[in-house]
Amino acid sequence: MERGMRDDHVFHRDLSKKYPLITHGKGSYLYSEEGTRYLDACSGAVAANLGHGIEEIASAMANQAKRAAFVHTLRFETPVLYKLSEKIARFAPDGLNKVYFTSGGSEANESAIKLARQFHRDAGKPEKHVVIGRWQSYHGNTFGSLSAGGDIKRRQVYTPNLLHFTHIHSPNCLRCPFQRDKGDCDSRQDWSCSTSLEQLILEVGPQNVSAFIAEPITGSQLGSVVPPDNYFKEVRRICDQYDVLLIADEVMTGFGRTGKTFAIEYFDVIPDIITFGKGISAGYAPLAGMIVHDRLIKGLIQNSKGKFVHGYTYSGHPVSVAAGLAVLDIYEREKILENVVEKGNYLLQKLIELKREIPLIFDVRGKGLLLGLEFAADAEGTPFKQDLQITERINEKAIELGAVFYPGSGTINGYLGDHLIVSPPLNSKTNEIDELVHILRKSIKLTIEEIRE
Interface residues with ligand PLP (CB under 6 A)?
A: 45, 104-106, 109, 138-140, 215, 219-220, 249, 251-252, 277, 288
DSSP strands (E only) in 251-355: 273-276, 288-293
Please choose, from the candidates 450, 388, 443, 397, the residue with its C-alpha nearest in 3D space to the C-alpha of residue 416.
Answer: 388
Select 277 or 425, whichever has its Cβ closest to ligand PLP.
277
Spatial distance between the Cα atoms of 368 and 92, rounded to a whole number of angstroms: 18
Q: How many CA atoms lie within 13 A of 123 on its CB side?
A: 19
Select 197 or 288, whichever has its Cβ closest to ligand PLP.
288
Q: Give Cβ neighbours of residue 322 (< 8 Å, ≥ 6 apart).
A: 60, 61, 63, 64, 80, 285
Please choose, from the candidates 235, 242, 336, the residue with its C-alpha nearest in 3D space to the C-alpha of residue 280.
Answer: 336
Q: How far is the CB of 81 from ligand PLP (least distance, A)?
A: 20
For residue 303, count other CB atoms closer than 10 A to its CB: 15
Spatial distance between the Cα atoms of 252 and 445, rounded to a whole number of angstroms: 29
Spatial distance between the Cα atoms of 421 and 405, rounded to a whole number of angstroms: 6
Select 132 or 185, whichever has its Cβ closest to ligand PLP.
132
Q: How far is the CB of 37 from ligand PLP (least distance, A)?
A: 25
Spatial distance between the Cα atoms of 335 and 322, rounded to a whole number of angstroms: 20
Please choose, from the candidates 371, 277, 323, 308, the residue with its C-alpha nearest in 3D space to the C-alpha of residue 111.
Answer: 308
Q: How far is the CB of 450 from ligand PLP (least distance, A)?
A: 29
Residue 276 pairs in a beta bridge with: 250, 289
Select 193 or 360, whichever has its Cβ closest to ligand PLP.
193
Select 105 or 372, whichever has its Cβ closest to ligand PLP.
105
Please identify the residue of the shown chain whose CB is closest to the bound ligand PLP.
Answer: 105
Q: How far is the CB of 32 from ligand PLP (least distance, A)?
A: 24
Coil, helix or strand for 407? strand
Coil, helix or strand for 261? coil
Q: How far is the CB of 391 from ligand PLP (least distance, A)?
A: 16
Select 321 or 376, whichever has its Cβ closest to ligand PLP.
321
Please choose, from the candidates 167, 170, 239, the residue with its C-alpha nearest in 3D space to the C-alpha of residue 198.
Answer: 239
Select 64 or 137, whichever has its Cβ closest to ligand PLP.
137
Spatial distance between the Cα atoms of 390 and 118, rounded to a whole number of angstroms: 44
Q: How far is the CB of 6 from ligand PLP (least distance, A)?
A: 26
Q: How far is the CB of 142 from ligand PLP (least distance, A)?
A: 8
Select 280 or 361, whichever has its Cβ closest to ligand PLP.
280
Q: How far is the CB of 389 from ligand PLP (least distance, A)?
A: 20
Q: Give Cβ neighbours of residue 86 (< 8 Å, ≥ 6 apart).
A: none
Select 220 or 230, whichever has its Cβ closest to ligand PLP.
220
Pairing between strand 288-293 and 96-102?
A: antiparallel
Q: How far is the CB of 3 from ligand PLP (least distance, A)?
A: 31
